[in-house]
Structure 1
Amino acid sequence: MQPVNLFDLASQQARWLAVRHTAVSSNIANANTPGYGTLEVQPFEAVLKQTDVSMRATHPRHISFGGGPEAASVRQVNEDKPAMPSGNSVVLENELMKSGEVRRTFELNTAIVKSFHRMLLMTTRG
């Protein structure tokens, strides 16, 4: 197991969040487009699996996490939900919730990087 570079991991998540934000905003922009299918991005856990970074329990009573679905980077979702009268599958409420989740995750990512950067600066100043 190699050491994890936090800044590389944070920048990788930021790039993933930018792609997810683009997919969600595209879904919202095309909510009234006839025949438009919802776009979705693979979970970040799948991206982490490709880089050999994973969460593991260090104690038997820790919560275990299952693996995320393996999928393409951005894919069109064919859900079993009934389509809108226009024939598209975008549900605005879901997309707005995803948009809020992306924003909160961006803020968390930025706060973590800022904290670690501050800690590095304090150690180098002596």
Structure 2
Amino acid sequence: MTAPVYLFDLASRQAQWLAARQTTISGNVANANTPGYRARDVEPFADVLDKTKLVMAATNNGHIGISPSRAEVTKVKKSESWDTVYSKNSVSLEQELIKAGEVNRQHTLNTTIVKSFHRMLLTSVRTPS
């Protein structure tokens, strides 16, 4: 028996995360001239997925037991800002535009994968003429 594919659910969750990140980025840009404003960002999508606690299940006694291993994680500290501003504002428009471009590319990839998977499903269920 094949396991269900939750690609559409995963793509939907990533689209929601991308929307939240884009909202945060636009808020940073809107407050670029606000004195003392600190730039914000959402946690990476990989961290969001790690919190879902997906667990592998053995459905047969003959399955090989897998012990959970912890991959070493290197934390990367992002710089506060590329600019030093007298108003103590940490928003860098250049960084925010780069982030917005990343969101755009990830959203395009997400929709392309869903479209391709949907096309593949439709092809598999169509009856030959």
Report the TM range for the smaller structure's normalisation. 0.7 to 0.9
Q: Which residue of 2 aligns with 1:113?
A: 114
Q: Which residue of 2 aligns with 1:11?
A: 12
- By percentage of residues, which structure has more strand? 1
Q: How does 1:10-89 map to 2 (within 5 A)?
A: 10-52=11-53, 67=73, 79=80, 83-89=84-90
Structure 1 CA distance, aligned partners of 2:103 and 2:48?
Answer: 16
Question: Deviations 1:30-59 (Å, cap 9, x if unpaired)?
Answer: 1111111101100000011012359xxxxx
Q: In angstroms, what is the RMSD of aligned CA positions? A: 2.7
- Greater Cα radius of gyration, structure 1 or 2: 2
Gaps (5+ residues) in structure 1?
Answer: 55-64, 70-76
The percent identity for this pair of structures is 55
Count of residue correspondences? 108
Q: Which residue of 1 aligns with 2:63?
A: none
Gaps (5+ residues) in structure 2?
Answer: 56-70
Q: 1:94 to 1:78 in 2, by over 3 A?
A: closer
Q: 1:34 to 1:11 in 2, by over 3 A?
A: same
Contact 1:45/1:67 (<8 A) preserved: no
Q: Which amino acid aligns with 2:52?
A: T
Q: 1:80 to 1:94 in 2, by over 3 A?
A: closer
Question: Deviations 1:65-108 (Å, cap 9, x if unpaired)?
Answer: 85476xxxxxxx99387751122100111110000000010000
Query: What TM-score does the superposition give when structure 2 sets the normalisation length?
Result: 0.73
